[in-house]
A and B are shown apart, each in its own frame.
Chain A
Amino acid sequence: MNSAAFVIIAILTLAGALAAATLQKLMHAALSFAVTFVGIAAFFFLLGAEFVGLALIFIYIGAVAVLIVFTILLTRRDVEKDRGFNWSGVAIAIAVFGALTWSILKTQSLSIVAPHVPALTVKRIGEALMTSYVWPLQCIGLLLTAALIGALILVMEEKR
């Protein structure tokens, strides 16, 4: 595991997230959201979970970011003015980050280095999904179907 790669990916991810949280233009924020998820997928590659990283890129940048852009375009007449910014949220976020960082730094058992192991192949993931995780997989399929139908019903034009 490379520390230079770690620093670059961390800066990219956090800068993208900060831009997505604070930019005033909606479309710029949606594009920064996509950059953030590129960084998160790079973290997954760095940690040896290549399948999850690819799935994250396909789902978030391919589907969710495009969905967000479509929603922004469909609600565009809602003009951006007099929005303001709630500064108490900043204080709460800083307090949460401080508490989490303090407790992580205080815990001695977290300063370990990753053990060397053979890479996790897609074949093993597929075998596990089809044997010991087959019930959760079916439940996820049911959930996704229900979410698809629910989203369609929510945006359907109402009959008058």
Chain B
Amino acid sequence: MTPTLGLFLIVSAGLFSIGLLAALSRRHAIFILIGIEMMLAAANINFIAFWRFSPQPQQPLGVMIAIFSIAISAAEAAVGLAMVIAVYRHYRTTNVDQLDQLKG
């Protein structure tokens, strides 16, 4: 038995949920970024799987979307980590619960 499209989607849904868990329940800013990266990678698995299981995988459409999405998430990770370092310089903490200066 070969894996069907649904199995790939279930694994990708599991990866997305674990990324959501990391982004929602950790207080450390770097962990939140790690969770967001995992959710983006789960979306990339979906793009590639739908491309491979489509009736005409000759057109490299899904591969192109995955390449551009990887480039965008790399830019996002660079800016996000730079923001973590800048916030740490100002407040001496990376705990997102303590960054509540804008709270009313």
A: which residues have CB within 8 A of B? 1-3, 6, 10, 13-14, 17-18, 20-21, 26, 29-30, 33, 36-37, 40, 43-44, 47-49, 51-52, 55-56, 59-60, 63-64, 67-68, 71-72, 74-75, 77-78, 83-90, 92-94, 96-97, 100-101, 104-105, 107, 110-115, 117-118, 120, 124-125, 128-129, 133, 136, 140, 143-144, 146-148, 150-152, 154-155
Contact = CB atoms under 8 A, between A and B. Distances in A.
Interface residues of B, number: 72
A24 to B, nearest CB: 10
Given A21-B35, A26-B28, A100-B16, A75 B94 contact: yes
Interface of B: 1-11, 13-28, 30-31, 33-35, 37-38, 41, 44-45, 48-49, 51-53, 55, 57-58, 60, 62-64, 66-68, 70-72, 74-79, 81-86, 88, 92-95
A49 B66 contact: yes
Given A64-B37, A104-B13, A120 B60 contact: yes
Contact of A14 (B8, B18, B41, B55): B18
Given A71-B81, A74-B88, A100-B16, A110 B24 contact: no
14 contacts: A14-B14, A17-B18, A17-B19, A26-B28, A47-B8, A49-B63, A67-B81, A75-B94, A85-B25, A93-B24, A96-B16, A97-B14, A104-B6, A107-B6
A18 B34 CA distance: 12
